[in-house]
Structure 1
Amino acid sequence: MSEQISQWLARDPDPKTRDELQHLVDTNNEKELTDRFGSRLAFGTAGLRGMIGAGPNRMNRLVIQETAMGLGNYLIEQVADAQSRGIVIGYDGRPDSEQFARDTASVLAALGIKVYLTHKVAATPIAAFGVLERNAAGAVVVTASHNPPEYNGFKVYWENGAQIIPPHDAGIANKIDEATVLPLQLMPLDEAHQKGLLVWLEDEYYQTYRKTMNENPLLIPDGNTDISIVYTAMHGVGAEMAETLLADAGFKKVASVAEQREPEGRFPTVNFPNPEEAGAMDMVMALGKSVDADIACANDPDADRFAVAVKRPDGEYQMLTGDQVGSLLGEYLLEGQPSSLVGNTIVSSRLLSSIAKAHGAQYYQTLTGFKWLTNIAMQQQTKEKPFLFAYEEALGYTVGSKVWDKDGLSALVAFSQLTAKLKAQGKTLWDKLEDIYRQHGFYLNAQRSIALDPKAPPIGDKLRASPPQEIAGKRVQVTEDLKTLSRLFDDGKAESIDLPASDVLIYYLEDKSRVIVRPSGTEPKLKCYYEVISEFDSGMSFAEANELAQAKMDELIQAHQQSL
């Protein structure tokens, strides 16, 4: 390992990480050195993401430069005219993000690839938008999204504007491995600019995104904008564009959480900058209460995800789940454009499928991850059924095809317009949700993780060897195994499944409940996703139906976890 460390120190361009590594060597910190040099950050379909620090198993300038070189060489091989078409580069507000973005630009320019580099922080959807807007060969966004402050990431988009999927992830990874032993060449940005290899994306570019969203027919307001909205950027990069788009759409009663409005990569007012985490929405909900807002909204720090809490009749605010937001948006958008294509992921609610069927729309389902939702949408949409909307339960939504990735900014506008439309009809979002549940059934979703014994044999193998016949006293009618891509019915009939293989088991029960189990690939843990569908009789109130569904959910979770 000492030779590996010496080579690293000789290549590392950053005195800060060189000093950090030298200190670990001087203090003989074997545990830390083994962690940093025992493996390399794996490049996958989400690109790179990891903790900041020295060594190949951390995010740092050398890892970024080698990654950029591998990506550049791969694009030159795979994409026609990649050098002249160029790559868009954007970055978030984390302390190292701008430097990492500039390093990426310097390496790509040295390879003769034109780069379009944002002149300031950019929301992830604004950078992803640039692939199609510039007809670029791809894009890179330096962001760790909603991860803790000690993380950063390197997200890659393909020439179609969507995040990369296989085989490109493996192809890029191989080129990165090659780059680790090649001399690194960087072109100073001033020189790249003079040679026409660097184009700064100034404010005009951001205004192009703004104009495109304002002209998106799915985001044209239908008259009423008289609602009160409070918003937080959660110390991220979304505030300026979010406020601008809302103002453009005619919303005048908009207030932002001042303490969380500006980019601040240390996220001082939240324990975890993820709207799904407990406490993360406290400040925006408190602001909402103080001004009696209709909705309290949030973007995560790179503004690709959207979260909302809605005022209840008692004046308190309650977070909607990702599935509730997805179902409300799906119903709203399909009312205006029923002959469309909509989709969500296997762990998201089946309610969208039911809504789509009622509207005569085409529905599709993919593996977990927005990269699948957009790439598959491009394949499945037709002139008769153009793509309209997709979502995943982890707060990711895309409205229309102007950005082929989740976009928390356009989702914010669409949801505000839905809220305003309902208010003009004398309805609330709770009323609309109740209408949807009364039509399709009361859908409730939950997720749990179970720690497993690391020494025990793989749980997936155990479940496949002895598949459950019933769960919580309910017969398993259909079992889907995405590892073998087979669907087995309880009468012995079998079908094949048209999805990429993945270590996932899905059980459909006789009472319409669904259980999904997915072993974690990185730790001894089983992720379980549950869905129950309860009746919503005409004599029932929303609260009673919710209580009934929750009781059914509690019983299902308890029985299933005990069976494991």
Structure 2
Amino acid sequence: MYKDEYNFWLNSDYFDEATKKELRAIAGDEKEIEDRFYKELEFGTGGLRGKIGAGTNRMNIYTVRKATQGLADYITSLGEDYKARGVVIAHDSRHGSREFALESAGVLNANGIKAYVFDGLRPTPELSFAVRKLKAAAGIVITASHNPPQYNGYKVYLEDGGQAVSPYVNEIMERIKKIKDITAIKVMEEKEAREKGLFVILDKSIDDQYVDMVKSQVLNPQLLKEKGGELSIIYTPLHGTGNVPVRRVLKELGFTDVRVVPQQEVPDPDFSTVRSPNPEEHDAFELALSMAKERGADIILGTDPDSDRVGVIVRDRQGQYVALTGHQQGILLTYYILSQLKERGQIPKNGVVIKTIATTDMLEPIAKDFGVEVENTLIGFKFIGEKIKEYESTGKEFVFGFEESYGYLRGTQVRDKDGVIASALFSEMALYYKMKGMTLLDVMEELYKKYGYYTEYLKSIVMEGKEGMERINGIMSKLREMDIKDFAGYEVEWRDDYLTGQARLRLPKSNVLRYNFKGGGYLLVRPSGTEPKIKIYISAVDSSKEKSEEKVNKIKDAILDLVK
């Protein structure tokens, strides 16, 4: 079956010579041919994501065309008004990103759908903002977020500015599946599309409106204006899209002592100065740390390539630099925002803070103290965006949303995590506490003393290819079949299985198991939705840091023994 598809790509006139040359080069490698053609790159709730290359299971102009044709068919089914409203397209700095963006526009244009295309790199959250601002029917962003350089991806946003979720994503997927002949997909040339008014390059006004919106999310603008120069910031965009907007926002807010890592300032699709362009992995900050130590900077900020995530490193009282976890960053921002709103008497009556089921439960007692509700969603910020949309009709008010993987959002004009907003808020928060003689680590310690010491741990195990996928599925099946009463002696009070629906929270089906421990804490296991990995999350709480860490380590050893 896969060999037939390989031969079709080799011999059809539809595929370009560069594609055929790449495929001829692997002619003797049966395993590689199988991996490229044994399935189609799946369009799921995160859109497409995969390695760049020739084949049905790779990111290339042909798989991008097919996904776009499915989206075009969906938009066409909604009527002429939706076609006229058009689709906004943005991209990051990765290999093939601009090409994939233009191919997407060409397919939409061939279907009579207008495409609004940014003139260069833009952060993913700005795409979400632009969809809402332009009242477009949908949005596409070409990015693989923080994946290694050999990857790229394709994400779809709908008219509310949020990522496509069920049931809408299912409708798009069905239309993609109905496309049996990829060679029938038409692409309109840009020149013709421009002449017909179907291809529009966006001007800088969207950038200006986006920056103004970001600046409106800070809580103490006057403090930043007067004292912003007293906070020393090192920033790295990790070769991605954050460089221009993050620097502009910080400057316009009043932060004058901002230094950017020069080696990582320029977009680079190979991300050549880091092992991985992921702010969750602390070695991505090596160059930034070196600069910070030279200058004695207060805080280091790093955004991922599409600038929807941000990692933070803080200087402690001894002059050492400590990386905050995604959980800690979210807790600090939540506490800061709620405390500032309380000071002004502005905590909404029906206020809600949203987090995912893989994110620390430390949020619960903090939110309770401020009189706001906590709502849990499945893993993925798209589900937080979906809740914001839901609140428009239920009367609840979104206060803040975060997930453990360094994604944060304040405000409702973006419906995805926003590293530009988060960079502004972290800088503001660090300055606010600095003026009180405190570091963010001091604040975190106070919160631990009040609410208990929470320790979180994440282990991602890579299992590539067809065999890897089978192994991951086998691990999940094995855990489901086992009636596990405890891990390393820590009693499991209940198990949530979000695939079978045997869970306390009523959430959409998802291949996730969460074991909840008596006395607090949890172990969560799931396959990654975007990478060939199985992910293990552990959280423990106790009266001291040492006891909490000990719990995590024992639970970690127990689960790793099971998934070998």
Partner of 1:60: 60
Partner of 1:468: 484
Question: Can you list the C-alpha shifts for 1:162-188, whole angstroms capped at 9, x where unaligned?
Answer: 111123333222322333515222222
Which piece of structure 1 moves more, 496-505 or 88-97?
A: 496-505
Check conservation: 2:49, 2:530, Cα contact below 8 A: no
Check conservation: 1:110, 1:185, Cα contact below 8 A: yes
Matches within 5 A, 1:319-358: 319-337=323-341, 338-339=347-348, 340-358=351-369
Partner of 2:242: 238
Which piece of structure 1 moves more, 31-40 or 74-83?
A: 74-83
Matches within 5 A, 1:163-562: 163-181=163-181, 183-216=184-217, 218=219, 220=221, 222-223=223-224, 224-225=227-228, 226-337=230-341, 338-339=347-348, 340-380=351-391, 385-449=396-460, 458-487=474-503, 497-518=505-526, 527-535=535-543, 545-562=544-561
**Partners of 2:361 and 2:242 in 1: how far apart?**
30
1:98 Cα offset (Å)? 0.7
Gaps of 5+ in 1: 488-495, 536-544
What SS class does the counterpart of residue 155 from structure 1 fall into?
Answer: strand
**Partners of 1:94 and 1:523 in 2: how far apart?**
17
Structure 2 length-normalised TM: 0.90
What SS class does the counterpart of residue 127 from structure 1 fall into?
Answer: helix
CA RMSD after TM alignment = 2.5
Q: Which amino acid aligns with 1:155?
A: K
Distance change (3 Å), C-alpha of 1:239 and 1:522:
closer
Partner of 2:344: none
What SS class does the counterpart of residue 281 from structure 1 fall into?
Answer: helix
1:471 Cα offset (Å)? 2.8
Check conservation: 1:390, 1:398, Cα contact below 8 A: yes
Aligned match of 2:20 in 11, 14, 18? 18
Check conservation: 2:240, 2:304, Cα contact below 8 A: yes
Check conservation: 1:229, 1:253, Cα contact below 8 A: yes
Partner of 2:72: 72
Check conservation: 1:361, 1:385, Cα contact below 8 A: no
What SS class does the counterpart of residue 486 from structure 1 fall into?
Answer: coil
Distance change (3 Å), C-alpha of 1:317 and 1:450:
same
Distance change (3 Å), C-alpha of 1:479 and 1:21:
closer
What SS class does the counterpart of residue 274 from structure 1 fall into?
Answer: coil
1:127 Cα offset (Å)? 1.4
Report how many aligned residue pairs link the two structures.
545
Partner of 1:493: none
Question: Can you list the C-alpha shifts for 1:72-104, whole angstroms capped at 9, x where unaligned?
Answer: 111221477221110000111123111111111
Distance change (3 Å), C-alpha of 1:518 and 1:282:
same
Question: Can you list the C-alpha shifts for 1:8-37, whole angstroms capped at 9, x where unaligned?
Answer: 353545432232223434xx4433222222
**Partners of 1:547 and 1:469 in 2: how far apart?**
24
Spell out structure 1 runs of 4+ moving beyond 6 A. 450-457, 520-525
Check conservation: 1:237, 1:262, Cα contact below 8 A: no
Which piece of structure 1 moves more, 105-114 or 160-169?
A: 160-169
Check conservation: 1:11, 1:62, Cα contact below 8 A: no
Partner of 2:36: 36
**Partners of 2:370 and 2:393 in 1: how far apart?**
17
Gaps of 5+ in 2: 342-346
Distance change (3 Å), C-alpha of 1:80 and 1:486:
farther
Distance change (3 Å), C-alpha of 1:387 and 1:221:
farther
Question: Can you list the C-alpha shifts for 1:523-556, whole angstroms capped at 9, x where unaligned?
Answer: 9975322111121xxxxxxxxx433322232233
1:276 Cα offset (Å)? 1.7
Structure 1 length-normalised TM: 0.90
1:287 Cα offset (Å)? 0.9
Question: Can you list the C-alpha shifts for 1:494-539, whole angstroms capped at 9, x where unaligned?
Answer: xx5311122323222223232223356899975322111121xxxx
Check conservation: 2:110, 2:187, Cα contact below 8 A: yes
Q: Which amino acid aligns with 2:554?
A: E
- Identity among equivalent positions (%) equals 37
Which piece of structure 1 moves more, 404-413 or 447-456?
A: 447-456
Which piece of structure 1 moves more, 166-175 or 230-239?
A: 166-175
What SS class does the counterpart of residue 24 from structure 1 fall into?
Answer: coil
Distance change (3 Å), C-alpha of 1:558 and 1:37:
closer
**Partners of 1:118 and 1:463 in 2: how far apart?**
46
Check conservation: 2:107, 2:187, Cα contact below 8 A: yes
Check conservation: 1:232, 1:260, Cα contact below 8 A: yes
Distance change (3 Å), C-alpha of 1:465 and 1:155:
closer
Which structure has more RCO (C-alpha within 8 Å, separation ≥ 6)?
A: 2
**Partners of 1:519 and 1:161 in 2: how far apart?**
26
Partner of 1:538: none
Distance change (3 Å), C-alpha of 1:259 and 1:286:
same
Distance change (3 Å), C-alpha of 1:77 and 1:90:
same
